[in-house]
Amino acid sequence: MRYFTFALMALAMVFGPTSAVAQLHVSVEGVDFKPVRIAVPDFDATGPGAAEAAAQLSEVVRQDLKTSAVFEIVDKSSFIQKDVDISLNPRFPDWQTINAQALLVGNVVVDADNKMTVQFRLYNVEGSQQQFATQYAYPNPLNWRRLAHKVADDV
C-alpha cells in the first residue's frame, strides 16, 4: 500500500497542474513605417475655468500621442484653419495642404454645477470624413488630466 501511495504522488507531480512560462515575441518586418501625421488644435472652451483646462488637456493629448510612436504631431504654427469648431466640418483642403492625415477637434464645457464635459471628433483628413466622435462627463474639472489620457487612448 505504501508503494501505491508513493506512485500516485509521483504521477500527480508529473501530470498535475504546472506553471507555464510564456514569452511574448514581437517581430517587426519592414522599415517603411511612417507615423500618422495628426493635427491637434487647442480644444475650444465654454464656461468658468474651461479655457485653462482645455489648453492643458490639449497639450496632454498631444504629448500622449507623440510618445506613442504611432503619431507625428503637426506643429500648431503651420495650421491654416485657426478657428476650428467642433460643430462644423473642418476645411479639409487646409489640413491636406499641411500634410495632416488626421485631425482631432475638441471642446471642453464647464457648466454652472462645475461639471466638465469633453467632446471630441477625429477626422480622416485624406478621406475628408469623420472617423470617431464621443464625449466624457466628469463631476469636477480637476479631472481634466484623466480625461486627456482617455481622449488620447481613444485616438
Report the pLDDT value the prediction gives residue 120, as an integer from 0 to 100: 97
Report the pLDDT value the prediction gives residue 64, as an integer from 0 to 100: 96
Residues 102-117: tens digit of each pLDDT: 999 999 999 989 899 9
User: Among residues 97, 86, 149, which one has the least CA distance to residue 122?
Assistant: 86
CA distance linking residue 107 with residue 10, whole number of Å: 66
Instruction: Give the model's confidence band at 3: pLDDT under 50 very low, under 70 low, under 90 confident, else very high.
Output: very low
Q: 38: which strand partners? A: 73, 102
Q: Tell me what the mean pLDDT of segment 69-89 comes to.
A: 94
Question: Which residue has better confidence, 138 or 122?
Answer: 122
Report the pLDDT value the prediction gives residue 29, as an integer from 0 to 100: 61
